[in-house]
Amino acid sequence: MIKDTRSFALILAFLASFLTPFVGSSINIALPQISQELSINAIIMGWIPTAYLLVLAVLLIPVGRFSDIHGRKKIFWMGIIIFTISSFLAGFSTSGEMLLFFRIIQGIGSAMIFANVNAMVASVFPVMERGRALGIAVTGAYLGLFLGPVLGGILTESLGWRSIFFFNVPLGVITTYAASKLKEEWRPAKGENFDIIGTFILGISMVLVILGLTQLPQMNGAFILSAGLISGLIYYFYQNKIETPVFDLRIFKNRTFGFNSLATLISYTASYPLIFLLSLYLQYALKLNPATAGIVLAVQPLFITIFSSYAGRLSDRKDPYKLAMLGMTIVTITTFVLAFINSHIWEILILLSLMGIGFALFGTPNNNIVFSSVKKKYFGVAGASLSTMRVVGQLMGMAFSLLLLNIFIGGTFIGPENISLFILCTQISLVLFSIMCFFGILATWRGREQSI
């Protein structure tokens, strides 16, 4: 029975971890075609991935808490259904606004999936096997990132961008069926109250912060950002006064959990917009077609996929801190060098390969560190927190990219008349992202073992 439960949990974790990264990375490669067909400018184009991430960031923590109360498997299963239906409907979008709406619904479903997948795996497997199990889940996610650009490019080139959304439907149906076969349920907080007020304050804070970042350097952007930070401060004092807050920030008093969660945030802030910018760079600046650009971009997640499971097993036997620091060091160096590469595809391929190895050596060991630093009853909060750090990092990276696009290009279409400005924008972004990665190394180094 235990073996069957673990097998089903791994299958579900792999499939669910594959789905949402696949649609995210494949959409990036299709953005130029979407922009042309639906007549949307560079800023709106950037909001197609950003709107999805914003919903994820806002909902992950409260959905994680809600799942701890009402059942992780149940919420996980419902999330897959919502994600599958919204993917199908997104394929029929006739305007940028309609596509954004269904991307938001996709984000709701994805939040229900991501808030539970790592916690379910961590709940099923003992400490000595947890790194391997999390490595398999991470492999599924990065396989989605790998196949996204490749299949996305091929589908976009041959069948159009809508086929990307339709491709998710049969995978979602299979995953939904598999989830219905999982018998065990996890409700570690059954009977506890759900913090509606805290959910509202925290959600408002996150929305305002991200919207404010995207509106900078205009004055209204600074005002919105300030309002978001004030809302976050209000939540901090609020959650200290109640017994079961939606997101208990006191968990960050655990030095290991806090610093390694910060390292996760930094790594995704620097890495996620890289694919977005390179997708545009390869197609607009180097004139590659979607299929060829997709193959180039697939190199990084391919190497992450190959090495993640190995890195997970290695983190069960070796010092995971050293592995994570080595990985982030590789990412820092390759991101910086990539900023000064012009039109040599083979150099880009080599750097993306090394970057993929770096992310693999960082990602799984870092996840293992986080879950091993807390007791089992905190796995739901830890899993949702880790997923939130990942998504907020992606969102901050995209917000930062949109800010630079707004400064250099504004609300116009990317074309021959402003391609030099776009290239400069990409180079500046990569240099700044490499600096962020350096601070990720420091955050990992500062982490220390302290179980709570």
Is 217 buried (19+), middle (13-18) or exposed (0-12) by CB count in 10 A?
exposed
Same domain, 201 and 315: no
Q: Tell me, yes or no, whether 304 lies in a domain.
A: yes
Into how many domains does the chain fold?
2
- Angle, to 10 degrees, between the axis of helix 379-408 and the axis of helix 196-215? 20
**Per-residue pLDDT averaged across 290-319, rounded?**
78
Same domain, 238 and 256: no
Same domain, 120 and 224: no
- Residue pLDDT, tens place only, 13-71: 788 888 877 877 788 778 888 888 888 877 777 788 878 878 887 888 888 888 888 88
**Per-residue pLDDT averaged across 63-91, rounded?**
87
Range of the domain at 133: 2-194+246-446
C-alpha 192/C-alpha 337 separation (Å) is 51
**What's the full length of the chain, in residues?**
452
**Could you tell me the pLDDT band of residue 451, with boundaries at 50, 70 and 90?**
very low
Query: Which residue, of 214, 245, 276, is where some domain finishes?
Result: 245
Find where tokens 């030095």 sit: 255
Per the model's pLDDT, the better-predicted residue between 445 and 230 turns out to be: 230
- Residue pLDDT, tens place only, 425-442: 888 888 888 898 898 888
Same domain, 209 and 330: no
pLDDT at 452: 46
Same domain, 59 and 126: yes
Q: Tell me, yes or no, whether 94 lies in a domain.
A: yes
Per the CB < 8 A criterion, the answer to whether 80 and 15 are in contact is no
Nearest to residue 137, comparing CAs of 253, 21, 275, 292?
21
**Per-residue pLDDT averaged across 358-386, rounded?**
76
Distance of CA 207 to the CA centre of its chain: 17
Per the model's pLDDT, the better-predicted residue between 108 and 391 turns out to be: 108
C-alpha 175/C-alpha 54 separation (Å) is 24
Same domain, 185 and 233: no
For residue 5, give Cα distances in angstroms to 141, 181, 372: 21, 10, 21
Q: Tell me, yes or no, whether 84 lies in a domain.
A: yes
Same domain, 278 and 225: no
Whichever domain contains 157, its CATH number is 1.20.1250.20
Same domain, 233 and 298: no
Q: Tell me, yes or no, whether 452 lies in a domain.
A: no
In terms of average pLDDT, the best of 98-107, 152-161, 442-451 is 98-107
- What percentage of the chain exceeds 70 in pLDDT? 89
Q: Tell me, yes or no, whether 285 lies in a domain.
A: yes
Q: Tell me, yes or no, whether 451 lies in a domain.
A: no
Same domain, 214 and 308: no
Tokens at residue 137, please? 């889940």
Same domain, 227 and 309: no
Single-letter amino acid code for the residue at 306 = I
